[in-house]
A = this chain, B = another copy of it.
């Protein structure tokens, strides 16, 4: 079997941890597998580098940040290769460039365009275990890029796809994907199996186990992914293509995201092109808008538009909105940062009705007001006051019977 193993920052957080990783890699190799290793920077390292940069500049150029940050994974890759070699297995470290991770030139948030495998694949063919620095790539014009937070997951999945690997193992500091955050709901249960689409919703909704883009990539190329802990031998959660079993389960998990801000434009003239103008400008600043709600105006003259963005982008989004609003003659712009998004996710929703009604009813029963609603085929999201986040997660998790003591709509053992 060809296995791609990705180890996150805590998994390579110290020399002792790196040596434990080396043993795990050696074990997989001993069992007759070909292994490719992807590593993140040692935990804390990336933040340390960001801290240094922030002492020099409030807004350092992306290109320089990329050269700076790409050091962290080079270090951990070299050390991990040494540790594997020390156990008597041939290993070589490779930078993103040397592994042929070609990206576009959007610094600090680059997109992978192709993977040639470069020197890493040559080494693999000779029986060497390549240890590839995650999170980084190179443009066609030879500039160093990084893939954004969590980018090492993407490196792993993309390399697995490029090599046609049988499995991509994402090693982290948790045992797998849970029905919700176990810190909030102690009865939260580890899922044995989950579909790409469900994982995508969970990841993008704030369950930080697996980076969103890596799940999209895994889905696109059908890469089977396992999320598991590098600190024990528990089996983890398999993220795969949807199967019939999964449809039996209406709701797989409850996610939340406190990292959102809501911007409302009050009394916009209700004429064609207004929303387009606003959201064009916001998209032009590379800000991703999540939920958009536009109320129908009763008199046909003015309307309110509300939308949510990540908190990190809220200041910028507000400024852009205010500029546009002045042009359009809207009344005012309001922003709220004390909001949260709570969502229930499950592929079974496609064939089962009543999930949204049950969600709204459950929140209402606990006097939690819903500010915005957004739905997709497999999820329902509500924007609520952030102070109710934990309560909402707990009551929804319970209402959909997701805990260890399962209700009717709960997932069966082994998922």
Interface residues, chain A, with chain B CB atoms under 8 Å away: 15, 18-19, 49, 52-53, 55-57, 60-61, 63-65, 67-68, 70-72, 74-75, 77-79, 81-83, 85-86, 92-93, 95, 97-98, 118-119, 141-144
Contacts A/B (CB < 8 Å), 30 sampled: A15-B52, A15-B55, A15-B56, A18-B56, A52-B75, A53-B78, A56-B79, A56-B82, A56-B83, A57-B82, A57-B85, A60-B85, A61-B82, A61-B85, A63-B92, A64-B78, A64-B81, A67-B74, A67-B78, A67-B93, A68-B78, A68-B82, A70-B74, A71-B72, A71-B74, A97-B97, A98-B143, A119-B141, A119-B142, A119-B143
Shortest distance from the beta carbon of A95 to any chain B beta carbon, whole Å = 7
Q: How many copies does the complex hold?
A: 2
Docked CA distance A86–B75 (Å): 27
**Of the residues B55, B64, B68, B82, contact of A85 by C-beta under 8 Å:** B64
**Of the residues B86, B92, B95, B119, contact of A56 by C-beta under 8 Å:** B86
Q: Which residues of B contact A79 (CB under 8 A)?
A: 52-53, 56, 64, 68
Docked CA distance A46–B97 (Å): 23
Docked CA distance A228–B141 (Å): 36
Docked CA distance A143–B53 (Å): 28
Docked CA distance A118–B144 (Å): 14
Q: Which residues of B contact A56 (CB under 8 A)?
A: 15, 18-19, 79, 82-83, 86
Q: Which residues of B contact A52 (CB under 8 A)?
A: 15, 75, 79
Which are the 7 A-B pairs with shortest beta-carbon distances?
A: A68-B78, A71-B71, A67-B78, A15-B55, A60-B82, A64-B78, A56-B82
Q: Which residues of B contact A67 (CB under 8 A)?
A: 74, 77-78, 93, 95
Q: Which residues of B contact A71 (CB under 8 A)?
A: 71-72, 74-75
Shortest distance from the beta carbon of A22 to any chain B beta carbon, whole Å = 8
Shortest distance from the beta carbon of A199 to any chain B beta carbon, whole Å = 33
Shortest distance from the beta carbon of A331 to any chain B beta carbon, whole Å = 40
Docked CA distance A55–B42 (Å): 15
Shortest distance from the beta carbon of A195 to any chain B beta carbon, whole Å = 38
Shortest distance from the beta carbon of A136 to any chain B beta carbon, whole Å = 11
Interface contact B53-A82, CB-CB below 8 Å: yes
Shortest distance from the beta carbon of A115 to any chain B beta carbon, whole Å = 16
Docked CA distance A118–B143 (Å): 11
Beta-carbon nearest neighbor of A48 in chain B: B75
Q: Which residues of B contact A77 (CB under 8 A)?
A: 67
Q: Which residues of B contact A95 (CB under 8 A)?
A: 67, 144
Docked CA distance A92–B68 (Å): 12
Q: Which residues of B contact A119 (CB under 8 A)?
A: 141-143
Docked CA distance A63–B83 (Å): 14
Interface contact B64-A82, CB-CB below 8 Å: yes
**Of the residues B61, B86, B97, contact of A57 by C-beta under 8 Å:** B86
Beta-carbon nearest neighbor of A85 in chain B: B61
Q: Which of A53, A56, A93 has the most CB of B within 10 A?
A: A56
Interface contact A78-B65, CB-CB below 8 Å: yes
Contacts A60-B85, A70-B74 supplied; 20 other A-B pairs, CB < 8 Å: A15-B52, A52-B75, A52-B79, A53-B79, A56-B86, A57-B82, A57-B83, A60-B82, A64-B92, A65-B78, A67-B77, A68-B74, A68-B75, A68-B82, A71-B71, A71-B74, A97-B97, A97-B142, A98-B142, A119-B142
